[in-house]
Amino acid sequence: MAYDEQLADRIRGCLEDQPGVTESTMFGGLAFMVGGHMAIAASHQGGALVRVDPADADDLVDTTSAEVAVMRGRPMPGWLRVPADDLDDVVQVATWADRSAAYARSLPPKPESES
């Protein structure tokens, strides 16, 4: 399954005015990077893969439809899957995109790779 291009467009629209945002294809989806850190992605599994502060993850799982992301059979702390049904409009997408971008921006800058 390919990622949802309409969802990617909604994410792009939410992040386009923020500094340091780039896009990269990753894991079969389209990831939005902030300062070199993945923040949110339109997932090839449907919905979005969202990076959040691990300290907030349990509360978000308890109060939203998000679930802890599982990769290769292991739960990934600080990574949530948000179903497509909860990303239908720009307000819903902006809530997750802004949260993920703010967390990615709080991380130490990644060194630029040498070419």
27 pLDDT tier (thresholds 50, 70, 90): confident
pLDDT exceeds cutoff 60 at 30: yes
User: Residue 4 and residue 34: Cα distance in Å, rounded?
Assistant: 20
Question: Domain-by-domain residue ranges, the chain?
Answer: 5-106
Per cent of the chain over pLDDT 90 is 88
Helix (H, G, I), strand (E, B) or coil at 99: helix
Tell me the average pLDDT across 4-20. Answer: 95
103 pLDDT tier (thresholds 50, 70, 90): very high
Tell me the average pLDDT across 81-102. Answer: 96
Query: For position 110, what pLDDT does the model report?
Result: 80
- DSSP strands (E only) in 1-115: 21-26, 29-34, 37-42, 48-51, 67-71, 74-82
- At the topology level, CATH places domain 5-106 in Yope Regulator; Chain: A, (3.30.1460)
114 pLDDT tier (thresholds 50, 70, 90): low
Per cent of the chain over pLDDT 70 is 96
Tell me the average pLDDT across 84-88. Answer: 94
